[in-house]
Every structure is written in C-alpha cells, then in structure tokens.
Amino acid sequence: MNKSLRTPLIAGNWKMNKTPAEAAALISELKPMVAECSSSTILLCVPFVDIDAAQKAACGSNINIGAENVHFADHGAYTGEISASMLTEMGVKYVIVGHSERRQYFGETDETVNLRARAALDAGMKPIICVGETLTQRDQGITAETVSLQTKIALSGVPAEQMKNVVIAYEPVWAIGTGRTATTAQAQEVCALIRDVIRGLYSGDIADAAVILYGGSMNAANAADLLAEPDVDGGLIGGASLKPIDFTVIAKAAEA
Ligand code: 13P
C-alpha cells in the first residue's frame, strides 16, 4: 500500500464556534500562515451562517470552506435543516456527516448518516463520514465491530464510482474534546481496519485510494506522530482548528 497515492486532508471542524465576523478575522490571520502548505488539502468546516464570510475571507488562498452537516432531502418540511443543493449553490464541496455530536445530541443514526452521505455524494460533494466507538464500547472490546458496522452502513448503496469522493474520519468518542488522544497505534489500527472494510466492500484499488482521517484531540504536539502512521491520511481537528498557530503546525506536519 502506497500512502503517496493519497492527498492528505487537514480539516478543521469549528463546531458551534465563531460568528461570521469572527470567522473572517480568523481566516484572514490563518491565510498567510498556511499559504505554503501545497501537498495537502486544507479545509475548514464552519457553521452554515459563516460559510459566505469564510469563503470571502479565504478567496484566493489554499483554504477550502466546508459545512458541518447536510440533510438527505433536497427540500421540504425539515425545519432548521440545510440541503445539499443549498450548499452546492454556495460552492461548498466538503461536508461533515455523522459527527458523534450529531449522533449523541441530535439523534442521528447509522441510517440517517448513510442517507446524508448519499445525498452529499449525489450532489457531487465529498462527505467526511465520521465513525468511532464510545469509551464503553472500547472497554467492552467491540471497537472493531462498532467501527466496521458504522462504516458498512454509512457506505450502504454508495456505488464504487462515488468512492473517490468519500472521506472517512475515525473519531473515537472518548478522545473528542477531552484532551485524551488515541495513541498512534490505536489510530493506525482502526484507520487500517476501515481501509480493510472498504477493501472488502469494493476493491483493493478503491481502498488504497481512500482518504481516512483521525480526529480526537489532535493538536500541535501530537499531529506529526499521528499523521506519520501509514493509514492516517489527515486529521479532523476541533479545538486546535480555532487557533491559527496550532492549526498551522498541524497543517505543516502533513507536509513532512
Ligand atoms: P477536538 O479536536 O476538539 O477533540 O474535536 C475533534 C472533533 O470532534 C473533530 O470533528
């Protein structure tokens, strides 16, 4: 397996942080700092209302702006939701789907994650599909089963030709926002497992080309070691993506 087949993806997930004006200010500060990161894709997934301001601030730079969720219907009576066509009309190419906070606080299930991922793909976007076990599941020794099942259901009905647009993010729930990062061995083990699941569902070529991220307390101090693992193709970064210096250190670690 050749890691150089894949372009690293360094993706921030801002979650529910930053107003449009704050988003513009942060991106203006970050823009020159990551300007030389040319071998990876730099992405910030921001709150819906920040997308316009973020895109304007990032204009002419190598920073891509993505969204944090997408609904599976194209339109209709789904108060508070945003459809894929609304995002694509704004030029959004990446969208996070199935983040554990959506699963935990907003009742999203493997089935709705699958529907949302497929809606994103059908609209020509790249979903970043999040999977990961809780601490209880890890302690019960069912990490592999949990993550395999989540991955299989998320990809159900996704044709092989759309797999080039799929990104999977392994985010152990116990590592998110806790400062407790998975060890490099744990991150590698589960990212490799996800690649094996893709190999089983599709083919070796598709698995080798799939971009698989690690997320969960990735920071300036641990990013280089995590990103050096053979099956970790990038990061989905929460807290540290709100700090331009830290995010830049992570982005530069992916260049090495
Ligand atoms: P933290 O980096 O803040 O742990 O968040 C990770 C995450 O949930 C990214 O989607």
Mean residue pLDDT across the chain: 97
pLDDT at 2 over 80: no
Query: Does 7 score more than 80 pLDDT?
Result: yes
Residue 1: per-residue pLDDT: 55
Domains annotated on the chain, with CATH:
7-18+42-47+65-253 (3.20.20.70)
Ligand 1, atom 1, lies closest to the CA of 238
Q: Which of 68, 99, 101, 108 is catalytic?
A: 99
Is the pLDDT score of 43 beyond 70? yes
Give the pLDDT band of residue 5 (cuts 50, 70, 90): confident
Cβ partners under 8 Å of residue 226, min gap 6: 181, 184, 187, 214, 218, 232, 235
pLDDT of residue 195: 98
Query: What mean pLDDT comes out for the span 91-99?
Result: 98
What whole-number distance in Å separates Cα of residue 198 and Cα of residue 102? 24
Distance (Å) from CA 77 to ligand 1 centroid = 31
Asked whether the whole model's pTM tops 0.85, one would answer yes
Q: What is the pLDDT of residues 132-162, one digit of tens each?
A: 999 999 999 999 999 999 999 999 999 999 9
Distance from Cα 146 to the centre of ligand 1, integer Å: 19
Question: Is 60 exceeded by the pLDDT of residue 209?
Answer: yes
Please determine, for residue 177, whether its predicted confidence score (pLDDT) is greater than 90.
no
Which of 9, 10, 15 for a ligand 1 pocket mutation test, highest count of atoms within 8 Å of Cβ? 15
- Cα gap 19→5, rounded to integer Å: 37
Catalytic-role residue among 68, 101, 108, 171: 171
Give me the pLDDT at residue 179, please: 84
146 near 133, Cβ under 8 Å? yes
The pLDDT value given to residue 10: 98
- Spacing, Cα 54 to ligand 1 middle (Å): 20
Confidence of residue 172 (pLDDT cuts 50, 70, 90): very high
Q: Is 238 in the pocket of ligand 1 (CB under 6 A)?
A: yes
Tell me whether residue 99 is one of the annotated catalytic residues.
Answer: yes
Mean pLDDT computed over 151-174 = 98
Is 204 in contact with 230 (CB distance < 8 Å)?
A: no
